[in-house]
Amino acid sequence: MKLTLKIWRQKSLKEKGRFETYKVEANPHMSFLEMLDVLNEELIAKKEEPVVFEHDCREGICGTCSMVINGEPHGPMGGTTACQLHMRHFKDGETIVIEPFRASAFPVMKDLAVDRSALDRIIQAGGYISVSTGAAQDANAVPIDKDTAGHSFDAAACIGCGACVAACPNASAMLFVSAKVSHLALLPQGKVEAKRRAQAMVKQMDLEGFGMCSNITACEAECPKGISVENIARLNREYLSSALGSETVA
């Protein structure tokens, strides 16, 4: 299949970027990133600079790949990362527009690669259970209801790719934050510091310059792991109860 690609090229953080148009011949069984590999090999053969895009596991779990394909983070297929998207879902002769994830908190470093370290800093603010190695009791000491464990898992399935931020018209990171808050708050082990966690993570999220959630739900629609906005409601509850209900004044 013959394709026309319009790809955002940007030399570095400081320089301005623009779209460049390329032609590429792809096989329908290729993954989207393999199609870009083909393009890059051709560019290298012409001694031109290949398109920089981030990727690693190519099986939809590491969360490294990050590009907006025809207006959608990770492309048009629901529940699919860019690396798991296959060319059979595109038409021969189609023009595909590829842009980096865009948000003020995700500055573009080069071409399609953006800096998502803000998400790490949010986790560092409190996205963990404070338990040091060796201090744990027997794993079966605290039973956890199967459904609750399941809901916790649903939230924990977040791969931290940042598609929610890229998709959100407000560039809000609420889905990401709420997934971690939910994952941990639902488990008895994480419940203990749930209040402190919600406060700390939201504070960091605000500091990083993400937008505010207006419940548009584009995040859930574009999330490759189908994380639900129910988690955002849970985060709101956790935050409200900790901001207004906890005895800690700070």
Partner 1 sequence: MSWFSDFLTSSIGRKVVMSLTGLFLILFLLVHLAGNLQLLPFLAHDPAGDPGKAFNLYSKFMTSNPLIKTVSYLLYASILIHAIQGWLLWSKNRKARGNQGYAVKVNKVVGTNSFAASNMGWLGTIIFIFLAIHMYQFWLQMKLGHLPMAYYDGVEVKNLYSIVAEAYESLGYVIFYVVSMVVIAYHLNHGFQSAFQTLGINHHKYTPFIKWVGKAYSILVPLGFAIIPIYMYFFM
Partner 2 sequence: MSLDSKTPPGPLAEKWTRYRGTMNLVAPNNKRRIDIIVVGTGLAGASAAATLGELGYNVKCFTFHDSPRRAHSIAAQGGINAAKNYANDGDSVYRLFYDTIKGGDYRSRESNVYRLAEVSRNIIDQAVAQGVPFARDYGGLLDNRSFGGVQVSRTFYARGQTGQQLLLGAYQALSRQIALGTVEMYNRHEMLDLVLVDGKARGIIARNLVTGKLERFAAHCVVLGTGGYSNVFYLSTNAMMCNVTAAWRAVRRGAYMANPCFTQIHPTCIPQSGDYQSKLTLMSESLRNDGRVWVPKKKEDAKAIREGQKTGRDIAEEDRDYFLERRYPAFGNLVPRDVASRASKTACDEGLGVAPTGLAVFLDFTAAIERYGKSKAHSMGMHDPSPEKIRELGEAVISEKYGNLFEMYEKITGENPYKMPMKIYPAVHYTMGGLWVDYNLETNIPGLFATGECNFSDHGANRLGASALMQGLADGYFVLPYTIGQFLSNEIRTPKFSPDAKEFVEAENQTRERLEGMINIKGSQSVESFHRRLGKIMWEYCGMARNADGLQKARKMIRELREEFYKDVFIPGSTEEYNPELEKAQRVADFLEMGELMVLDALNRNESCGGHFREEYQSEEGEAQRNDADYAFVSAWEYKGWEAEPVLHKEELVFENIELKTRSYK
Site for partner 2 in 172-201 (CB under 8 A): 183-184, 187, 189-190
Residue 89 beta carbon to partner 2: minimum distance, rounded to whole angstroms: 9
Binding mask 25-54 for partner 2 (x = CB under 8 A): --x-xxx-xx--xx--x-xxx-xxxx-x-x
User: What are the b/e assignments for 78-106, b being 16+ CB within 10 Å?
Assistant: eebbbbbbbbeebeeeeebebbbbebebb
Task: Output 36 or 67, the one with its CB closest to partner 1.
Answer: 67
Residue 172 beta carbon to partner 2: minimum distance, rounded to whole angstroms: 20
Per CB under 8 A, 3 contacts partner 2: no
Residue 160 beta carbon to partner 1: minimum distance, rounded to whole angstroms: 19
Cα Rg for the chain, rounded, in angstroms? 20
Q: How far is Cα 228 from Cα 13, in angstroms, rounded to an integer?
A: 33
Sequence length of the chain is 250
| Binds 218: which of partner 2, partner 1, none (CB < 5-8 Å by kind) | partner 1
Q: How far is Cα 176 from Cα 172, in angstroms, rounded to an integer?
A: 9
Per CB under 8 A, 139 contacts partner 2: yes
Across 112-193, the runs of DSSP E, i.e. the strands, are 113-114
| Binds 67: which of partner 1, partner 2, none (CB < 5-8 Å by kind) | none
Based on the number of CB atoms within 10 Å of its own CB, is 234 exposed (0-12), middle (13-18) or buried (19 or more)? buried
Per CB under 8 A, 133 contacts partner 2: yes
SS3 31: strand
Per CB under 8 A, 1 contacts partner 2: no
| Binds 130: which of partner 2, partner 1, none (CB < 5-8 Å by kind) | partner 2
The footprint of partner 1 (CB under 8 A) covers 6, 17, 19, 68, 70-72, 97, 99, 102-105, 167, 169-172, 174, 202-203, 205-206, 209-218, 220-222, 229-230, 232-240, 243-244, 249-250
**Cα separations in angstroms, 245 against 93, 233, 241:** 59, 17, 5
Which token pair is 185? 């708050």
**Interface segment toward partner 2; rule CB under 8 A; list 92-100, 141-149, 209-217, 237-245:** 141-149
Per CB under 8 A, 15 contacts partner 2: no
Q: How far is Cα 81 from Cα 59, in angstroms, rounded to an integer?
A: 8
Task: Output 200 or 216, the one with its CB closest to partner 2.
Answer: 200
Per CB under 8 A, 20 contacts partner 2: no
**Cα separations in angstroms, 87 against 65, 75, 76, 79:** 16, 11, 11, 16
